């Protein structure tokens, strides 16, 4: 109880000192008014008038500064909101594309893992992410709050890994197709993890609700795709263990894919 009282007593002076530092005009104005009151009590009318006048001028300057702070804060908040509104559509399209890549990677990974000779007819370009047009040169980027800028940069940077792999995968001669799609699956899932943060920061689901309720939100679709990927990986590991135990299959060559 004693510690609580000490903390309560210390909060008041600290807040007062902090407020005075943030509003020096007000502090000086109060001091001048107090001095004017003392001068008036001592019948020094000219000095009292001067002090009251100076105090009033400083008080007016403080009020003007307070109004300017409020105006600047309101304008800043408006610019931040407009920046998020301008960048959100492009972000939403880019996330949708990464989700598509993740889903196609799952399908191809399952086919290659099962060695069922089923082809999906997906091409190299099907695994290229969309590149943002507004980022990073659009003026709206400068108006974004710091936390939104950070998550946006991290997500868009992750697309470079996806795009680079799509550029180079076909040059890897002799590379197992199952490993190719496993890498795409891993890279796209990392991008989706960053995308989930962007969805929250930019309120993507509020701005772009699903066209049909049965589709589910973008977040639920991402989580569902991640669950499918985890299930595909579990079955892949089971098949790999079964083949490893089957001596007759050890001599079979794993399928390669030529592009």
Checking if the pLDDT of 77 tops 50, the result is yes
Query: Which pLDDT value is given to residue 52?
Result: 61
- What is the 8-class DSSP label of residue 255? P
Distance of alpha carbon 36 from alpha carbon 48, whole angstroms: 4
CA nearest to 188, candidates 108, 90, 255, 87: 108
The conformational region for residue 203 under phi > 0 = left, psi -120 to 50 = alpha, else beta, is left
- SS3 of 172-191: CCCCEHHHHHHHHHHHHHHH
Q: How confident is the model at residue 185 (pLDDT cuts 50, 70, 90)?
A: very high
CA nearest to 182, candidates 100, 94, 107: 107
SS3 call for 97: helix
- What is the 8-class DSSP label of residue 134? S
CB 226 within 8 A of CB 107: no
Burial class (CB in 10 A: 0-12, 13-18, 19+), 157: exposed
Lowest-confidence region among 64-68, 115-119, 209-213? 64-68
Query: Which pLDDT value is given to residue 212?
Result: 87
pLDDT in tens, 172-183: 677 788 889 999
Checking if the pLDDT of 115 tops 90, the result is no
Query: Which pLDDT value is given to residue 124?
Result: 87
**Could you tell me the residue ranges of all domains in the chain?**
2-72, 83-249
pLDDT in tens, 213-257: 888 999 999 999 999 999 999 999 998 888 877 755 544 545 545
The tokens of 167 are what? Answer: 């550029």
CA atoms within 13 A of residue 155's CA, in its CB half-sphere = 32
Distance of alpha carbon 256 from alpha carbon 237, whole angstroms: 19
pLDDT in tens, 88-100: 999 999 999 999 9
Query: Which pLDDT value is given to residue 7?
Result: 43
Query: Which pLDDT value is given to residue 1?
Result: 45
Distance of alpha carbon 88 from alpha carbon 95, whole angstroms: 10
Query: Which pLDDT value is given to residue 118?
Result: 80
pLDDT in tens, 18-47: 555 565 655 566 665 576 666 656 666 676
């Amino acid at each position: 109880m004693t510690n609580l009282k000490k903390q309560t007593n210390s909060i008041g002076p600290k807040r007062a000192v902090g407020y005075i530092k943030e509003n020096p005009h007000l502090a000086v104005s109060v001091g001048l008014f107090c001095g004017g009151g003392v001068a008036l009590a001592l019948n020094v009318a000219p000095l009292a008038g001067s002090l009251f006048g100076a105090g009033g001028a400083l008080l007016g300057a403080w009020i003007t500064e307070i109004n300017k702070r409020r105006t600047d804060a309101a304008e800043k908040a408006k610019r931040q909101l407009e920046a998020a509104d301008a960048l959100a559509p492009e972000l939403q399209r880019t996330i949708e594309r990464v989700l598509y890549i993740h889903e196609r990677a799952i399908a191809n990974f399952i086919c290659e893992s099962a060695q069922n000779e089923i082809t999906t007819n997906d091409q190299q370009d099907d695994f290229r992410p969309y590149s943002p047009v507004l980022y990073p040169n659009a003026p709206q980027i400068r108006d974004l709050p710091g936390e939104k800028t950070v998550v946006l940069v991290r997500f868009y940077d992750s697309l470079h890994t996806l795009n680079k792999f799509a550029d180079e995968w076909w040059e890897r001669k002799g590379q197992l197709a199952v490993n190719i799609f496993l890498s795409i699956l891993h890279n796209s899932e990392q991008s989706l993890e960053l995308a989930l943060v962007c969805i929250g920061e930019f309120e993507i689901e509020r701005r772009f609700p699903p066209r049909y309720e049965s589709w589910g939100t973008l977040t639920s679709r991402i989580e569902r795709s991640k669950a499918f990927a985890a299930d595909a990986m579990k079955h892949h590991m089971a098949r790999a263990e079964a083949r490893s135990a089957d001596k007759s299959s050890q001599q079979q060559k794993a399928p390669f894919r030529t592009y």
